[in-house]
Amino acid sequence: MSEAITPEVFNHLVELAALALDPQEAEYVRKQLNNQLKAIHELEAIPLEGDIAATSHGVPYTVQISPALREDEWQPYPNPQGILAQAPDSSDSYIVVPDIPHTTLE
C-alpha cells in the first residue's frame, strides 16, 4: 500500500499548520499519520445509504433544552492588565509581535 501522505504532502501540511518539526520528529509523525490513515480506511467499507445524515452532536439539541442566548452586552473585565501581563511581549498596553509580512497584490 503506497503512502498517502508523502514527504511533499506532509511538508505542505506542516506549512499550513504553522508548525516546525525537526527531521527525526517529522519522520515519526509522518509514519504515524500514514498508519492512522490505514485505520481510517475502514470507514470506506461501511455501506452508507443516501438518507444517513451527518451527526455533528450525539445528543439532539432541541429548543426546549438549548439555553437562551445571553444579551450581547458589554461587560467590564476587572483586570485587563492581568490579561496583558500573560502576553510574551507587550508594551504600553499593546501586544508586540514581529513584523507582519505583507504581500503586494498585483
Partner 1 sequence: MELSDLSAHELALYLRQRRISAVEILESCLKRIEAVDGRPGRLDGGPLTVEDEQKVHSFITLTPERARAQAEAVDRKIAAGEDPGPLAGVPFTVKDIFCVEGTPSTAASRILANFTAPYTATPVARMEAAGAVMLGKVNLDEFTYGSSNESSAFQPSPRNPWKLDRVPGGSSGGSTASVAAGEAPLSIGTDTAGSIRQPAAFCGVVGMKPTYGRVSRYGLIAFASSLDCPGPVARNVTDAALMMNTIAGADPHDSTAANVPVPDYLAALEQGIKGLRIGLSPDYFRITYPNLQNGTFETQPLPAEIEASVRRAADLLAAMGAEIVEGVPMPNTRFGIPAYFVISRVEAASNLHRFDGVKYGYRTPEPMNDLRAMYRQSRGQGFGAQPKLRILMGMYVSAAQYSEQYYNRALRVRTLIRQDFDRAFDPQGPYRLNALLTPTTPTTAFKMAALYGDSVLMQYADQLTVPANHAGVPGVSLPAGLDGEGLPIGIQLLGPDYREDVLLRIGRAYEEATETDPWRRVRPQALL
Binding residues for partner 1 (CB under 8 A): 1, 5, 9-10, 13-14, 16-21, 25, 28-29, 32-33, 35-36, 38-44, 46, 48, 52-59, 61, 64-67, 69-70, 79, 82-83, 86-89, 95, 97-101
Rounded CA separation 23/17 (Å) = 17
Q: Which of 25, 33, 36 is nearest to 9 (CA)?
A: 33
Closest CB to partner 1 among 44 and 106? 44
Rounded CA separation 69/85 (Å) = 31
Least distance (Å) between residue 51 CB and partner 1: 10
Least distance (Å) between residue 91 CB and partner 1: 14
* Bridge partners for 95 per DSSP: 90
Rounded CA separation 14/101 (Å) = 19
Closest CB to partner 1 among 64 and 104? 64
